[in-house]
Structure formats: structure tokens, C-alpha cells
Chains A and B, each alone.
Chain A
Amino acid sequence: MDKTIFQKGKTIISPSRFGVRNFQNRLFFLVVLIFALITISMVFLIIGTLVMKGFRQINWSFFTQVPPDTFDAMMAKTSGHLIPGGILNGITGTLFLVGMASIIAIPFGIIIGIYLYENGSKRYANMIRDIADVLQGVPSIVVGLIVYLWVVVDITDGYSALAGGVALAIMMLPLIIRSTEESMKMVPVTLKEAAIALGTPYYKVILRVLIPSSFSGLMTGVLIAVSRVLGETAPLLLTTLGNPAVNWNLVKPVSAVPLLIWQFYNDPNMVDLIWSSSLFLMGFVLLLNILSKWIAARHSIQ
């Protein structure tokens, strides 16, 4: 016999027969909660450690100067001062490389994504989709090796920013293709039909209805791809190597923040700089994430 008690709209079933099930229910959700908390606390621990260890090193010169040479760093350390200099060459290098990679990868990625959207499940399209998935799974160091062969040896005859840009573009491409196709699929079919019923030629339907309507999804895909390659180190080690100075020349080596972190790590005098650099990188990635969510919220089709 169930005794159901109605209390302000809530139905309470008396626990006599359901005691064990109730307890199991609660235990399950408790376990889920604990796992969730552990996962979330990882993020806070990472950010907390970086902030605590790197915060002191962040000042104006962090953003405006290049790293010191190892002797100056040693002098500063032994006298207890903060290490002078900053990571300007890394910041400009990262912006240069990611900017170049975006200019290469975005047009290709979006056009291929549109092709896949249009041709759905045909054989050729399926093949391209599978190849893009394989490309996404290629280890980043292998991408670096291949680009080393194609660009560093064949084109620029030496480590260069161009090689780094190409390597990052190859890594961004599958992400942009995927997210473009998925965003366009989410545009309601009725919008496409409305445009076609008005006599619009199909390429205009794509350019003036489909792309503007899926714009926030496209933007998000690009930002995700960018935040993925911001921290890539392995391919850059094999293609741009690094540069103690700021460099905007395509055919010369260029630095990047992850490369600098690696260099600081390997130099006992500059080790302290790894924390501030990592904090900067994380902050940038976080910023991009927030930006992409903000864009998605603003432009969403209800």
C-alpha cells in the first residue's frame, strides 16, 4: 500500500518500501558529485598554483621586453631581485604564428566545411570527412616533422615563421572543418527553403543566409581551434626553433610563448620565468573561451 502525501505540490512517497532504493539513489548522486568536485578542483588547483608562483613576475616589463641573457638572470637571482626582462618576443611571435595559421586555415576550413554540409553523405564527402578526422589525430610532433621537410628544407632553407604558421594551420584545419559543418547543420532548413522560394541563386543562399545565420557557431569553432594551437610546442620546436628578439620576418625563425617556457625550463637561472609565462598563456586561453561564449550568446538564434 503506497501512502502518498501531497504537500504543496510535492508528492512524498512513504519510505517504508522504498528505503533501500532511496539510499542507493542518494549514494549514486553523492558519488557523481564527488567526482565532479574532484575534476573542478583540478582546474582551480592549476590556476591557483600558477597565480601564486607567477604573479610576482608579471609587471610592465613582462609585456614589453625580451628575456634577459642567462648571466643577467643569474645575477638577479643571487641578489634576490626579480629576473629582469619579459617575454615580448614570445607574445609577438605567438600572435604572428597564430595569425598566419588563421589566415591559412580559416578560408580553407570554412569552404571545405560548406562542401561537406552540401554533399552530406555522398562517398567523396565521407572520404574527406574521414581524412579530416585522421588529420586531427596526427601527433603534433609528426606534423612538425612533415612541415620541416616541406618548408624548412624546401622553401625557406632554414627555420622560419612561415614553417611554424603552416604547421599550426594544419592542426587548426580539421577543427574548423568540423565545426563549420556542424554549425551549418544547425541552421533550420526552413530558412534555406525561404531563401530558395524567393528565387535566390544557391551560392547567394549560402553567402547571405546560411553563413550569417551560423556565424556564431563558425566563430566559436575558429576560437576553439586558435586556443588549441596557442599552446602547441612540439611542432614549433621543429619549424621555428625560437628567436631571442622580436621578429616579423616570414623567412626567419620566430619565438613563441610555449617555446620560451621550454627554454626557461632548461636554463636553471631562468626557471622562475616559467610560471609567469604559463600564467599568461592560461589567461589568454581563458579570455578566448569567455569571448567565444559571449559571442555565441549574443548571436544565437532562438
Chain B
Amino acid sequence: MKINDNNMTSDSPILSIEDLSIAYDHDKYAVKNVTASVQKNAITAIMGPSGCGKTTLLRAVNRMHELYPNIETQGKINLYGENIYEMPTIRLRRKIGMVFQRPNPFPTMSIYENVIAGYKLNGIHLKRSERDEIVETTLRDVTLWDEVKSALHKKGTFLSGGQQQRLCVARALAFKPDIILLDEPTSALDPVSTAKIEDLLVELKKHYTILMVTHNMSQAARISDNSMFMFLGELIEYEDTKTMFTNPKDSRTEGYLTGKFG
């Protein structure tokens, strides 16, 4: 199902998935014929029961799924009209940032170094003033600056889970990507930290496009603008969140949302 892009300013959508299918070992399809167009500057949630392919779909967007052996991909994903499978992965991953389920700041680096880890690891040399500016701006964006400004050069391991996750978001933001992918970012966090991250995402969507896998329906209902429902690898339904939750079109969607299966 395609969505009405009311707010599109450029001619090609920021991210369009065209008939994407991904299989492990020839026959086992994790994702089957998914076609969708992601709205810019909005939060799109991908929901579905375990094993439905939502994480695989998310990882396909920055080609992280290629880390698995024996994986075959058919179809296209276009970033501003350019097929990401024909782009060098290094360039692609600078335009798309990713935040994982468990916070994973680099333990051998300080908080400061973690934020600019993207630049450091790629060997991009920045002037001291540029680095300081990026670190401060991104930490302010994730509302972590006040909490860590006096401990920037300490290792990030003393931070709480929620703070570590915000640090990981900052790390993803440092490259100023177009899209941020989040794989169940709050499932390992307590409710207070979860609320902070959700507020952060709502703020961030003004400047970034957010694609988020979530196992938590209420989270999708709280913060997402559009929702995808996946089941056994297929995209069953895709529309704005309000409509999906109040008036789902497919019986499977309804079954999932009302808890008949999960």
C-alpha cells in the first residue's frame, strides 16, 4: 500500500522500497515483495509479531543485513531516487544512522570520542573547534549535554542505560544523516528513560526522517505518524497511525492490534 505524501517538497521521495525480497539460504524468505514509500520528517513505525521480518527490513535500508552469510536480496531501495544497492556502503551509511536495541557505546572511547566516533573511525580529520562544536551540538540535541559536559573525557560506562542510548543516538546524529533507523531502541530501558527517548524522537523528526522497529504497540501509537504492519515477511498494511489503530483494513492487522496473537 502506498501512502499519500502530502508534505513532499522534492520530486523523489526520501526513501522508497520497491518490491524488496530478502532470503536466507535460497528459499527461506524473511521479507517478501515489500513496496513502500517513507515520509520525510516523520516517524514511521514497523510493527509485527516476532519473526515477521521487521528487523531484516530495517537492516536492509542501510544494508546491514548483508553481514549475514548466504543472504540474497531482490528488488530496490531508493534513497532520493538513487538505488542504495549500487552505492558504496560507506557513503550510504553516512546518510543513514542506526541505533540498536541494546545501548552500545564504544567502551574504549570517552564520551567525547564516542560522539565523533563516526569521523574518527573513517579517518576524517576535523579541526579541534569543529569537533568541539559537533560534540556540543549533538549532545544538546539529545538533551545529554548538561548531564555530561563536565565528564566529556571520561569513558561512557558510568552512564545509565537511558543516557547510554541517548549517547548512541548522538553518535548516529554526528554525521547529520538524512534518515535514522532505530531497532527497538527502548526495549531494554526503564519507563522513565523510554519517555525521554520518545520525546527526543518527536523533537528529532523535525529535521530527520525516522524509521523505527517497535515491539510495543503503545509506543507506536504514542509517537509514530505512520505505521507498517508486517506479518510473515509481507507488508500487510501501511498507513497513518491513527487510521491503522482505529480502523485497520486487514483482519490480521486487527488481530495483532487487539492482542489475538502477538
Mark A residues whose CB is within 8 Å of B: 188, 190-191, 193-201, 204-205, 208-209, 212-213, 215, 301-302
Contacts and interface: CB of A to CB of B under 8 A. Distances in A.
Contacts of B94: 199
Contacts of B175: 198-199
B100 A199 contact: no
Counting from the closest, the 9 A-B pairs by CB-CB distance are A199-B93, A197-B98, A190-B104, A200-B121, A198-B118, A212-B108, A199-B90, A194-B104, A301-B107
A194 B106 contact: yes
B97 A196 contact: no
A212 B91 CA distance: 25
Interface of B: 62, 64, 67, 89-94, 97-98, 100, 102, 104, 106-108, 117-118, 120-123, 157, 168, 171-172, 175
SS class of chain B's interface: helix, strand, loop or mixed?
A: helix
Nearest to B117: A198
Contact of A302 (B98, B118, B157, B168): B157
A197 B64 CA distance: 7
A74 B118 CA distance: 70
Contacts of A191: 104, 106-107
Contacts of A194: 98, 100, 104, 106, 168, 171
A195 B109 CA distance: 12
A205 B89 CA distance: 14
A200 to B, nearest CB: 4
A201 B168 CA distance: 19
Contacts of B106: 191, 194-195, 209, 213
17 contacts: A193-B64, A193-B67, A194-B100, A196-B64, A196-B67, A198-B97, A198-B118, A199-B91, A200-B121, A201-B122, A204-B121, A209-B108, A209-B121, A213-B106, A213-B107, A301-B107, A302-B107
Nearest to A215: B108
A204 to B, nearest CB: 6
A246 to B, nearest CB: 41
A204 B123 CA distance: 9
A185 to B, nearest CB: 16
A197 B93 contact: yes
Given A191-B104, A209-B106, A197 B62 contact: yes
A27 B48 CA distance: 55
Contacts of B117: 195, 198
Given A197-B62, A215-B108, 10 more contacts: A190-B104, A194-B100, A197-B93, A198-B93, A199-B118, A200-B90, A205-B121, A209-B106, A213-B108, A301-B107
A275 B175 CA distance: 64
Contacts of A205: 121
A264 B89 CA distance: 65
